Structure 1
Amino acid sequence: MRARTSGRADAAEALDAADAAPHVGALPAGPLRSIADVAGVTVGHATLDARGVQTGVSVVRPHAGDVYRDKVPAAAAVINGFGKSIGLVQVDELGVLETPLALTNTFGVGALAQAQIRAAIDANPQIGRAWPSVNPLVFECNDGYLNDLHAFAVTPAHYAQALADARRAFARGAVGAGRGMSCFDLKGGIGSASRVVRAAGEAWTVGALVLANFGRLPMLTIAGVPVGRMIAERDAGGAPGAAGGQGADGARDDVAAAGARGERGERGDGPNGTYGTYGTYGAHGRENAGTGGGAAGGLAPRRARDAGASSPGAAPDAAPPEQGSIIMLVATDAPLSSRQLKRVALRAAAGLARTGSVYGHGSGDIALAFSTAYTVPHDAERVSLPALVADAALDPLFAAAADSVEQAIVDALWRATRVTGRDGHTRRALRDAAPELERWLRAARAGA
């Protein structure tokens, strides 16, 4: 199956600042508002969109050269290890990347690993003979709700297509590896963001790219506002603040479509149009999300929820578990060691938590951070490093990593469009489910 790549129209959309997701947090963004604000980083996609096949491949290139010959310092952090990524063990041991970063669905990992090995051998025939083997690095999320995993639609050729498509201005949302992903029971996918901070007397850029495929609707929190709970309550027929919710199979899309005709709210008036953070609303508005099919599914009536609680205010036992996964890639131009990059990768979890995730049992939450400040030559016997940022000066970079991951998740939701896939399963887009989102955020800010 021939995949669709980004194309000029998608690239233009990626640069459309007027259509950017609401800015969360107080740190400023780079000009592209993406991981490509880190110099040298590019992203490409191959998208498969054919009825029950809704999937694809995304590739992040840390630089334009041969990553095997000029290795990139990196480190990974496993927040919750329910995942099938390939290559993390050697990254943890050696602290470098040897291939571009590939993302796809769970059953496509093997095909992409083979493609990465083949591409490295084609460029360097000494690999596996006079030289050591190559470490493929493939990340995955399970897109099986919208995509027929049993089709094994992803092939090595799709990796080559995505690699050839790599560019600074790249598409986001329901594209590439994100085509079939779900996030908070809405359409998820690829999101990206960047932040610019000062550390050790210089300005540095931190960028993030996420493959968002996690969470339950009532948990969704944007800038401290319980957006998911508000959507669920509104879908149930009442104003935000009443009980109710969305069926797990994307029911109530008719309500969302009607709401989509409403007026969009105004941008916030903080720095860079930011909405800041409005504080918390209970336990991120986590209520019992329904798992039934069709319109009957949804949040349990309040009396039923209360009856299942062991004490006033207790969470119900029947709440469905958080499942899915998220891959969080963090890039920076700050000169950091692999040990320091491990610390940066861990801070991705802070951004993830701000959106409402609790890293559920069945969620594979993986972060990887890399630096473009220098490379490690394959054949070097000694490696000269630039002056590294001191550990005591890392806090601004930690904050930027958390902020950019949080923003990238919001970006994935904001840019994703409605998709219907396997067996007629549908995920609606955030902007269809909450056309008044910006107004909600503005009202919360005014009342803070």
Structure 2
Amino acid sequence: MKLRNRGMTIGALLPGKKNCITDVDGVKVGHLTLDYPLDDGDYACTGVTAILPHGGNLFREKVVAASYVLNGFGKTTGLVQLNELGVLESPIMLTNTFGVPAVTQGTLEYILQENPEIGDTTGTINIVVGECNDGQLNSIRKFPVKPNHAIDAIQTATAEISLEGAVGAGKGMVCFGYKGGIGSSSRVIEEGVQTYTIGCMVLSNFGGKIEFPFEKYPGIKDVRKGIDETSDGSIIMVLATDAPLSDRQLLRVAKRCGIGLGRTGSHFSHGSGDIVIAFSTANKIPHNSEAVLQTVTHIREDHPLMNQLFAGAAEATEEAILNSLSQAVTTKGRNGLVVESMFGLKKR
């Protein structure tokens, strides 16, 4: 159950119809969840999440993108080139720390199958993968995530309301000592006849119980036992919008995700990988073109819409994090460890 279904409202802007990153037209999300025992107390409690900016060929029709690192204790792929060129040409893939190589390979295999020219008659492909460490619940040393799991997550992606909580890459994540994982929210930005949507999806795996501001959210009660969790951990924040923004403007908007993260109690601790990956679906960038010049439209820097997009990014991030907690079920993992749902949700 999302936070709003519990009677709690975050911020002043209205959410989209689905209150999900898929409110941004064309965006799709897919999950592959692993949940089964291994030998000698080990457990596969992990998965893969795929976020597709649109349903077409992402290599041949790239989107404008940027990333921002609040604290760099993370093991991502693809962000160097993404920031250099300002475009995204693959799905954004999320998984656990040791699953990054397998997910990168699987995503690469999928895109190569779609595009036989890559590495032959044209250049290579930049795969973007983000991670958080789910090693408390998941036996990461056993490498349960395989390349085919990334392909499955991509192929099952839909534009429907995404599953949240202990699903996909979020299966084994812990947030503020409670069960965390996947969360999403969106905001609608209106200015005259112009209407834009901004959506956020998070993979939450950070914070100690002592840091969560229960007093700020009266509808959330400190009545359940959280595990002894340090501040260290990570969060990947994926921001999508249909507002026409340049990669530099996207970077400015992405920075405001840190405001939403801070509102939930995080201080971006030493051992936390706090990373934002942002993209706009408004302008598709063709891979093949003989044109010397390229013309795109983007919002004026000093227009009030920019401030609304800043606010929308902060609000959607805060609510997405709370939704990851609100939707997560109590989960059992390796060595019998149980991490409780903050809201008392039991595994179905």
Same fold (TM over 0.5): yes
Alignment of 1:402-413 (within 5 A): 402-413=314-325
Contact 1:220 1:356 in 2 (8 A): yes
Contact 2:227 2:339 in 1 (8 A): no
Q: CA deviation at 1:198?
A: 2.3
User: How many residues get paired?
Assistant: 336
Contact 2:260 2:315 in 1 (8 A): yes
Q: Which residue of 1 aligns with 2:47?
A: 56
> CA, structure 1 residues 247+115, in 2 after alignment: closer, same or farther (shift >3 Å)?
closer
1:121 maps to 2:107: no
Contact 1:220 1:227 in 2 (8 A): no
Q: Which residue of 2 aligns with 1:305?
A: none
**% same residue:** 45
Q: Which residue of 2 aligns with 1:206?
A: 198
1:147 maps to amino acid: N
Q: Which residue of 1 aligns with 2:26?
A: 40
1:374 maps to 2:286: no
Q: Which residue of 1 aligns with 2:209?
A: 217
SS in 2 for 1:50: strand
1:173 maps to 2:176: no
> CA, structure 1 residues 200+132, in 2 after alignment: closer, same or farther (shift >3 Å)?
farther
SS in 1 for 2:77: coil
Contact 1:104 1:140 in 2 (8 A): yes
| Structure whose residues are more often strand by fraction | 2
Q: CA deviation at 1:353?
A: 0.3
1:343 maps to 2:329: no
Alignment of 1:407-422 (within 5 A): 407-422=319-334
1:193 maps to 2:185: yes
Q: CA deviation at 1:247?
A: 4.6
2:339 to 427, 436, 441: 427
Provide the rounded CA distance (Å) in 1 between the counterparts of 2:137 and 2:118: 38
Q: Which residue of 1 aligns with 2:133?
A: 142
SS in 1 for 2:145: coil
Q: Which residue of 2 aligns with 1:387?
A: 297
Provide the rounded CA distance (Å) in 1 between the counterparts of 2:180 and 2:75: 19
SS in 2 for 1:391: coil
2:113 maps to amino acid: D
Q: RMSD across aligned C-alpha pairs, in angstroms?
A: 2.1
SS in 1 for 2:144: coil
> CA, structure 1 residues 421+219, in 2 after alignment: closer, same or farther (shift >3 Å)?
same
Which deviates more from structure 2 when the two are superposed, residues 355-364 or residues 122-131? 122-131
Provide the rounded CA distance (Å) in 1 between the counterparts of 2:70 and 2:218: 23
Q: CA deviation at 1:197?
A: 1.3
Q: Which residue of 1 aligns with 2:40?
A: none
2:233 to 309, 314, 324: 324
Q: CA deviation at 1:222?
A: 6.1
Q: CA deviation at 1:22?
A: 2.8
Q: Which residue of 1 aligns with 2:84?
A: 93
Q: Which residue of 2 aligns with 1:352?
A: 261
> CA, structure 1 residues 92+199, in 2 after alignment: closer, same or farther (shift >3 Å)?
farther
> CA, structure 1 residues 222+366, in 2 after alignment: closer, same or farther (shift >3 Å)?
farther
Provide the rounded CA distance (Å) in 1 between the counterparts of 2:337 and 2:71: 27
> CA, structure 1 residues 111+20, in 2 after alignment: closer, same or farther (shift >3 Å)?
farther
Q: Which residue of 2 aligns with 1:364?
A: 273
> CA, structure 1 residues 356+158, in 2 after alignment: closer, same or farther (shift >3 Å)?
same
SS in 2 for 1:392: coil
1:389-424 CA distances to partner (integer Å, 9 max, x unpaired)?
Answer: 111121100100010000000000000000010111
